[in-house]
Amino acid sequence: MNDIELEKLKEKGLNEHIPIIMDDTLEKIKEILLEEKPKRILEIGTAIGYSACQFAKYTSCECIIDTIELDSQRAEDANVNIEKIGFKDRINVIQGNAVDILPTLKEKYDIIFIDAAKGKYPIFLEESLKLINKNGLILADNILYKGYVMSDYNKHKQRTAVRHLREYIKEITENKNMSTQILEVGDGLSITRIKNNCN
């Protein structure tokens, strides 16, 4: 793998204001990956392939990563970047709307990383529960959304996203088959262990 190209991709993401994973969030996920040793990961929200390449870097060469991206230009860019960095054989970019793609997936995953449209998090969770292995982890980025989610201020234009993020948090914290941690790293990261997958 080419670390210099991966570093360049991070710079490109930051310069172009693409919301790539933040360093402290990545640090936490790196720990999780080294501990869990997943064999298959699903990512919802590829952007330009930065986080997917980081996940590949911290998992074994047998670990496959499927990642879904709505925007066709970004999906194309991601493929180019993934090839440059040297993970073409381990990362599959699936172009399309995750809401439509998720019900068609045939594999089961050890870790699912949700990092796309915040208003869709409850749907992504529902679909992810059908795809996660028993004892698997579902991670969600941006779960605290700049602090809006935990504050009572509710009049800004992001209120629909905030409502859906709160709905997501309610489900992962109240469902008896799940055990959840919410961390204030980056823009908020939730880590949910699926104890008994009833799906």
Nearer to ligand SAH, 99 or 185 (CB): 99
23-30: long-range pairs with CB below 8 Å, 24+? 23/186, 24/185, 24/186, 25/141, 25/185, 25/186, 25/187, 25/189, 26/51, 26/54, 27/185, 28/183, 28/185, 28/189, 29/54, 29/55, 29/58, 29/113, 29/139, 29/189, 30/54, 30/58
> Which of Mg ion, ligand SAH, none lies near 142, with the C-beta cut-off 5 to 8 A by kind?
Mg ion
> Contact at 8 Å (CB) between 91 and 52?
yes
Q: For Mg ion, what does the binding mask look like between residues 74 and 113, x meaning CB under 5 A?
A: ----------------------------------------
Choose among 196, 28, 14: nearest CA to 113.
Answer: 28
Distance CA 74, CA 84 (A): 15
By CB under 5 A, residue 115 contacts Mg ion: yes
Interactions with Mg ion, residue window 26-85 (CB under 5 A): none
By CB under 6 A, residue 78 contacts ligand SAH: no
By CB under 5 A, residue 141 contacts Mg ion: yes
CB of 93 to ligand SAH, least distance (A): 11
Q: For ligand SAH, what does the binding mask look like between residues 110 and 139, x meaning CB under 6 A?
A: -----xxx--x-------------------
Which residues are at the interface with ligand SAH (CB under 6 A)? 19-21, 45, 47, 50-51, 68-71, 74, 97-99, 115-117, 120
